[in-house]
Amino acid sequence: MEISRYLSAGSVTLSNLLLKYYRQLNLSEIELVMYIQLSSAQQRSKKMPDIGKISEAMGLDVKQGYHIIESLMRKGCIQLCRYETEEGKEADAYDLSGVFQKIDLLERKEKELAVKEQLPKLVTEFELDLGRTVSPYEIEQIQSWLQNYSFDLIVLALKETVYHRAKSPFRYLQKILEYWRNQGANTVEKAKMIIEESRNHKLRQEKEETPPLEVPIFEDWNGGYE
């Protein structure tokens, strides 16, 4: 097959999250393929997909195809809905958004679990670096950071806060995290690049503002200089 023909056949836009979570959604491989088939048909046209053709492409009969669709509906991944056509008529269609809502719920649960596991470790890190016990209010602040930033990124911001000897460490750390986010630094590697660039810039400024040292010029090898 020529590559041009392969590419001209089009492609399906599919979130990688579906591939990541489909087992946790209790979907079998054949249900996943059916969902992809429905998604492909929906992206080509709003019309109700031909389940007969989809079933045939999957090596199934129509009855088996509808059985899989019913299973997807029971699991809350898709639902039958009605919409108004351009001609003002009502028509049936499959709403595929249920799977995204279920994935969102899974991600929220994963995030809550991660925060619960990481919070005690991060609190200990703060107390060691700041040299004091953190207050309940500060623990809440740390927890809120964990919901929006990675553990390692917060630790790096903490190290920067200690390095600069901030008088209000939590306020200073918040500003660091916000600045990094505004700069698109959502990883430790990107944040370190910003830190290095900032320090290099400061060094250049200091060199420019500091007058050059007086270097003695020797008249001869015996010594003595102007």
Range of weakest confidence among 10-19, 39-48, 206-215: 206-215
Q: Residue 166 in contact with residue 130, Cβ under 8 Å?
A: no
Share of the chain above pLDDT 70, in %: 88
Give the C-alpha separation, 96 to 83, whole Å.
Answer: 14
Specify which residues 92 forms β-bridges with: 82
Residue 8's pLDDT is 60
Where is pLDDT greater, at 130 or 91?
Answer: 130
Where is pLDDT greater, at 93 or 207?
Answer: 93
Average pLDDT over residues 40-61: 91
Extract the tokens encoding 20: 């990541």
Kindly report, residue by residue over 163-204, the tens digit of the pLDDT. Answer: 999 999 999 999 999 999 999 999 999 999 999 998 888 788
Packing angle of the helix pair 136-146, 169-182 (nearest 10 deg): 10
| Domains of the chain with bracketed CATH | 11-96 (1.10.10.10), 108-209 (no CATH)
Packing angle of the helix pair 98-130, 151-163 (nearest 10 deg): 30
Specify which residues 194 forms β-bridges with: none
pLDDT of 217 higher than 60 = no
Average pLDDT over residues 112-125: 95
Closest CA to 173 of 145, 151, 132: 145
Q: Please name the helix (run of DSSP H) or strand (run of DSSP E) that holds residue 82, with its range, or none.
A: strand 79-84
Largest CA distance in the chain: 106
Share of the chain above pLDDT 90, in %: 71
Packing angle of the helix pair 151-163, 136-146 (nearest 10 deg): 130
Average pLDDT over residues 104-119: 94
pLDDT of 71 higher than 80 = yes
Give the C-alpha separation, 166 to 73, whole Å.
Answer: 55
Give the C-alpha separation, 67 to 31, whole Å.
Answer: 10
Kindly report, residue by residue over 1-43, the tens digit of the pLDDT. Answer: 566 665 566 678 888 999 999 999 999 999 999 999 999 998 8
Which one-letter amino acid corresponds to residue 26?
A: N
Which residues fall within 8 angstroms of residue 46, CB to CB, at 6 or more apart? 83, 85, 91, 93
117 vs 24, 108, 111, 137, CA distance in Å? 21, 14, 10, 19
- Which residues in 77-112 are b (16+ Cβ under 10 Å) and which e? bbeeeeeeeeeeeeeebbebebbeebbeeeeeeeee
The pLDDT-based confidence of 219 (bands split at 50, 70, 90) is very low
Give the C-alpha separation, 172 to 160, whole Å.
Answer: 9
Average pLDDT, the chain: 87
Q: Residue 170 in contact with residue 143, Cβ under 8 Å?
A: no
pLDDT of 216 higher than 80 = no
Closest CA to 42 of 90, 84, 97: 97
Residue 2's pLDDT is 63
pLDDT of 138 higher than 60 = yes
Q: What is the pTM of this model?
A: 0.67
60 vs 66, 176, 184, 213, CA distance in Å? 10, 57, 47, 85
